[in-house]
Amino acid sequence: MFGRQIHLFRLFGFSVGIDLSWLIIAVLITWSLAKGLFPYFLKGLPASTYWAMGVAGALGLFVSIVVHEFAHSLVARGYGLRIRGITLFIFGGVAQMEDEPPDPMAEFMTAAAGPIASVLIAGFCLVAALFGAVAGLPKPVTAVLAYLGFINGLLVVFNLVPAFPLDGGRMLRAVLWHMRGNLRWATRITTALGSAFGFLLIALGVYSFVTGDAWSGIWWFLMGLFLRGAAQSSYQQLLVRRALEGEPLARFVQPDVRTVPPSITLEDLVNDYVYRYHFKMFPVVDQDRLVGCVTTRAVREVPQDLWAQRTVADVAEPCSEENTIDLGADAIDALGKMHRNGASRLIVVDQGRLQGIISLKDLLRLISLKLELEDA
């Protein structure tokens, strides 16, 4: 979903970051507030005041979205769900959950937590704006508070649309899941609604563009595309998770591992291993002992004219959590680690000893067979 991300801070054990796309929308929000909304409602103020209000409004929206996602994350953690982090991107924010909810109640409460937080923020800001006006606070301050109250209320209304993956869609999925006891069926229904709602936004975008409102048209069109894509990918992710759920990792381990000794040159490594077996990573073994890993990335950092003089031992690195997995793990854990780290193979170890290799293509082969044989 995301491109390049910038880590901002950690709070309550959650990592908070922003996708570079958020910087684009933050600039646009600041500009639209400073040049459009605030001058329209509060006339005659200096330009510097409008820009300060625009920055304050954008920062307030940032804080509001983070609080919204923190509400999701804290409730999810209370139900034992793992949260990889919170990321803000061009269309808002997302708490990246690594697990599916264990039951409908966990799904409903986790989904509802965000809108509840946004309702509280909206109410607080609107009340603060009202009392601030009565107390004689400067108009720019009350105007920013009123804007934050309004925009959070608008976010609540939008998020409660019963279309997955919006919060309303997740709440509806929880209800359908509870009624029929079938998460796959509930997800299929709500993602279909999500796709339909995305198509509606695309149509609205085209209409707005044709009738002269180009900016709104582009925005609605892009949001519709995003929602359709997110809905479809969410259903596919559920199918994948269900296909691998409960499958022991040992079932996929290839014990016949292509290992390399630390003494060979990088030239031999490339010619005799990389070009022959087409792998980007090899375990380095010395007298049946796993001593590290060597990757094509590490080889690439060495000038090619030195490959004949440098050995694997010179560039090998200790095997890490990113490229190894314990033999007792589940297949779904392996797939998740491959996805997070962009790896196609993982070294399988048992108490630090090399047991074999697990590859992405073997996992995908089982997924394909299960989807072909079982009802969708």
Residue 142's pLDDT band (boundaries 50, 70, 90)? Answer: very high
Integer Cα distance of 368 and 243 in angstroms: 9
Name the DSSP class of 35: I
Residue 93's pLDDT band (boundaries 50, 70, 90)? Answer: low
Whether 77 shows a pLDDT value over 80: the answer reads yes
Residue 2's pLDDT band (boundaries 50, 70, 90)? Answer: very low
pLDDT, mean over the chain: 82
Question: What residue ranges do the domains of the chain occupy?
Answer: 5-244, 249-373
Which of 25-39, 270-284, 298-312, 346-360 is least confident?
346-360
Integer Cα distance of 29 and 126 in angstroms: 20
Asked if 327 contacts 281 with a C-beta cutoff of 8 angstroms, the reply is no
Assigned architecture for domain 249-373: Roll (3.10)
| pLDDT > 90 fraction of the chain, expressed in percent and rounded | 16
The pLDDT score that the predictor gives to residue 156 is: 92
Residue type for position 37: L
Higher pLDDT, 307 or 11: 307
Asked if 181 contacts 104 with a C-beta cutoff of 8 angstroms, the reply is no
Q: What are φ and ψ of residue 4, in 5° steps?
A: -70, 135
Residue 149's pLDDT band (boundaries 50, 70, 90)? Answer: very high
Per-residue pLDDT reduced to its tens digit, 19-50: 777 777 788 888 888 888 889 888 888 999 99
The pLDDT score that the predictor gives to residue 361 is: 78
Q: Residue range 163-191: average pLDDT?
A: 88
pTM of the predicted protein model: 0.70
The pLDDT score that the predictor gives to residue 146 is: 93
Per-residue pLDDT reduced to its tens digit, 98-122: 667 788 898 899 889 989 999 999 9
Q: How many CB atoms lie within 10 A of CB 247?
A: 18
User: Which residue has 């600039």 as its token pair?
Assistant: 27
Residues 6+ apart with CB under 8 A from 326: 249, 348, 349, 350
- Range picked from 147-161, 253-267, 326-340 for highest mean pLDDT: 147-161
The pLDDT score that the predictor gives to residue 376 is: 44
Q: Residue range 269-296: average pLDDT?
A: 85
Q: What are φ and ψ of residue 305, in 5° steps?
A: -70, -5
Number of alpha carbons in the 13 Å side-chain half-sphere of residue 354? 25
Residue 96's pLDDT band (boundaries 50, 70, 90)? Answer: low
Whether 372 shows a pLDDT value over 90: the answer reads no
Integer Cα distance of 170 and 37 in angstroms: 33
Which two three-digit tokens encode residue 229? 């894509």
Q: How many CB atoms lie within 10 A of CB 264?
A: 16
Whether 257 shows a pLDDT value over 90: the answer reads no
Asked if 247 contacts 241 with a C-beta cutoff of 8 angstroms, the reply is no
Higher pLDDT, 299 or 9: 299
Residue 338's pLDDT band (boundaries 50, 70, 90)? Answer: confident
Asked if 312 contacts 266 with a C-beta cutoff of 8 angstroms, the reply is yes
Residue 152's pLDDT band (boundaries 50, 70, 90)? Answer: very high
Higher pLDDT, 372 or 24: 24
